[in-house]
A and B are shown apart, each in its own frame.
Chain A
Amino acid sequence: MSAEPALLAAEKSAPAPRPTLRSRLMRDGGIIFGAVILLLMAVIGLAAPLLGTKSPSEINPSFRNRVPGIEQTIRNDDGTTRTFTYRMGTDSLGRDIYSRVVYGARVSLIIGITVAAISIAIGLFIGLIAGYMRWVDAVVMRLMDGLMAIPAILLAIALVSLFRAGLLSVIVAIIVPEIPRVVRLVRSIVLSVREEPYVEAAIMAGTRTPLLLVRHVLPNTIPALIVQGTFICANAILIEAILSFLGIGIPPETPTWGNIMAEGRGLFRLYPHNIFFPGICLALTVLAVNVLGDGLRDRLDPKLARRV
């Protein structure tokens, strides 16, 4: 035996340094940061009624456009009084912005998660079939190219104009532009996987196509889809806010961050808080999802990490 293997063996036998908390934080900082913020937003959304809020749609004509921190004395039914603090002020209908921002977390998270889940499910289904069956591929990919030629926000705006405004139509309008991107991703993975020996072996063994796709091809797409899902989620939250901000998204009485900002546009010069508080929440949430996605991509899909 030469010295070299011995050297290697010696190196191997040395105890691997246990990852310290610091090094783990450095490596997974993004994942931890993103997950913590998202969890926080989810808790805020779920526990909205318990967080010192009042009804987010309760209007208060005598208490409009007040600055953050103002207090109001409210007379209870039994004659006693209590004070309510408007932590983020009130909007031009006298609604409590703090309550609207807290309830707005619900809508953003629901939209982000629903859009990500549905567009990935549909895109995965189409992509698996397109990647595996050549004749479907030609037709489907031309259709997808056509859909992708329309800029995403524009397509969403156009779709919203077709339906009546509401949560469902906004979700559909955001899902449609995302599908071609998922289809392309899945298809590219399927095309590379179908040449693998284990797939050929399965075909030889007589595995039927649906089973082959689900058991042998689909698992390869999961890491990339988890990463893609986080980015779709971030994008969906942003597009919903944009649509609502433009006044063509969720109906204005529903508290969403975009709606609060749309409401605050007119009086922005005098009362910038109507825009800043929901804006900060929105930016922080999208940032958290993006950072989480970046972290997951580095961990799960190093190949993808090379293409931005």
Chain B
Amino acid sequence: MFGYILRRLIATAPVMLIVAVFVFLMLRLTPGDPAAIIAGDNANAEQIAAIRNRLGLDEPIVTQFFIWLGNLLRGDFGESFFFKKTVAELVASRLEPTLALSVATITIAVCVAVPLGVLAAYKQGTVIDKIVMGFSVLGFSVPVFVIGYSLIYLFAIKLNWVPVQGYQRIGDGFGGFLQRLILPSVTLSIIYIALIARMTRTSVLDVMGEDYIRTARAKGQVEIKVLFKHALKNAAVPIVTVIGLGIALLIGGVVVTESVFSIPGLGRLTVDAVLARDYPTIQAVILLFSFVYVLINLLVDVAYTLFDPRIRY
């Protein structure tokens, strides 16, 4: 088991290396001299040369890559052109809102989608099934910002239940934190619910014909236990997989949702960095999000063994 985890961890290294090469080349391929950008409009040629020297931009490109990679591994993401801070500080200060939003979204999505998917599978072919599946297709199709603005319009403007936009740090009071978090998390969870509910329905339907389901029913097990204990547990592997793969959707959604709800998180930072052409920050955010995405899917692979002891490595 631990050997397996170690092997998988090592196997992700080349993937992350390719991501790093890509992200590095992205900065180098951009028109414009990073040293000139950092120096600002009033710098003279000597100052620019000094900055270029300091950043190691005189070295051959392969050397530059390894210097950059070495800095990354030591947690040095460079300096933001636009925010005039180190990128590491910048990212750290934006971490909490994004983390809170993501955790809340995944929690809502799993709690809603799994029962919905099981229900749709149980009532296969009925109106309930069709409604759940219709909702699922709709969830894929309505863009997250349209959902966001519709919810703001209904719950914040018309009903006045929650604040329109903004974010409150968890340290400044849990009630206000939750109140401002609920609408963005529900918004973001819609597409995730659609994805997970669909997969849950398919994989539960797959196992419903198995012998152990018939056996469970024959021994008089109540239907709800048959569904959630016997069927769902055996259908768990594809569901967990899709939750892991869905992180990519979630990350994309975070960028949009944070912009709609004015949440000062990493997603908002990404957009601000692109608008300001702040390449070190863009690089750092992409690397970080990709790393998290790869890591979560690694965890998902490992989690299979918990759901299905038949899978051994």
Contacts and interface: CB of A to CB of B under 8 A. Distances in A.
Contacts of B282: 158, 161
Interface in B270-311: 270-271, 273-275, 277, 279, 282, 285-286, 289-290, 293-294
Chain A contact residues, majority secondary structure: helix
Contacts of A307: 202
A40 B102 CA distance: 38
Interface string A269-308: 1001001100110110011001100100000000000111
Interface in B210-243: 242
B42 interface: no
From A146, A152, A283, residue with most partner B Cβ within 10 Å: A146
Contact of B145 (A153, A242, A248): A242
B120 interface: no
B274 A261 contact: no
B251 A286 contact: no
B26 A153 contact: no
B152 interface: yes
A261 B147 CA distance: 13
A151 B245 CA distance: 10
B256 interface: yes
Interface in A224-276: 234, 238, 241-242, 245-248, 261, 268-269, 272, 275-276
Contact of A146 (B15, B259, B273): B15
A242 B143 contact: yes
Contacts of B150: 276, 279
A241 B293 CA distance: 24
B145 A160 contact: no
Interface string A64-106: 0000000000000000000000000000000000000000000
B216 to A, nearest CB: 24
A279 B282 CA distance: 28
A222 interface: no
B211 to A, nearest CB: 20
B111 interface: no
Contacts of B293: 149-151
Contact of A161 (B137, B252, B274): B274
Contacts of B21: 146
Nearest to A150: B290
B202 A308 contact: yes
A158 B144 CA distance: 20
A114 to B, nearest CB: 19
Contacts of A245: 143, 145, 256, 259
Interface in B97-135: none
A286 B138 CA distance: 9
Nearest to B27: A162
Contacts of B138: 283, 287
B30 A162 contact: yes
B45 to A, nearest CB: 26
Contacts of A276: 149-150
Given A272-B149, A272-B153, A287-B138, A149 B164 contact: no
Contact of A150 (B19, B146, B152, B275): B19
Contacts of A162: 26, 29-30
Contacts of B164: 269
A286 B270 contact: no
B66 interface: no
A279 B142 CA distance: 8
Interface residues of A, number: 43
A283 B274 CA distance: 26
A279 B149 contact: yes
Contact of A242 (B256, B277, B294): B256
B146 A308 contact: no
Nearest to A247: B275
Interface string B241-265: 0100001110110011001000000
A286 B15 contact: no
A290 B195 CA distance: 13
Contacts of A238: 143
Given A147-B22, A160-B274, A279-B146, A246 B141 contact: no
Interface in A152-167: 152-155, 157-158, 160-162
B188 interface: no
A145 B157 CA distance: 44
Contact of B242 (A234, A282, A287, A308): A308
Contacts of A136: none
A203 interface: no
Contact of A151 (B16, B149, B199, B289): B289
Contacts of B202: 306-308
23 contacts: A145-B15, A145-B18, A147-B18, A149-B15, A150-B19, A151-B248, A153-B251, A154-B251, A154-B252, A154-B270, A154-B285, A154-B286, A154-B289, A157-B274, A160-B274, A242-B252, A245-B143, A245-B256, A248-B274, A275-B149, A279-B149, A283-B146, A286-B142
Given A234-B140, A283-B141, A306-B202, 20 more contacts: A145-B15, A146-B14, A149-B19, A150-B22, A151-B248, A157-B270, A157-B274, A245-B145, A246-B271, A247-B271, A247-B275, A248-B274, A261-B145, A276-B150, A279-B149, A279-B150, A282-B143, A283-B146, A287-B142, A307-B202
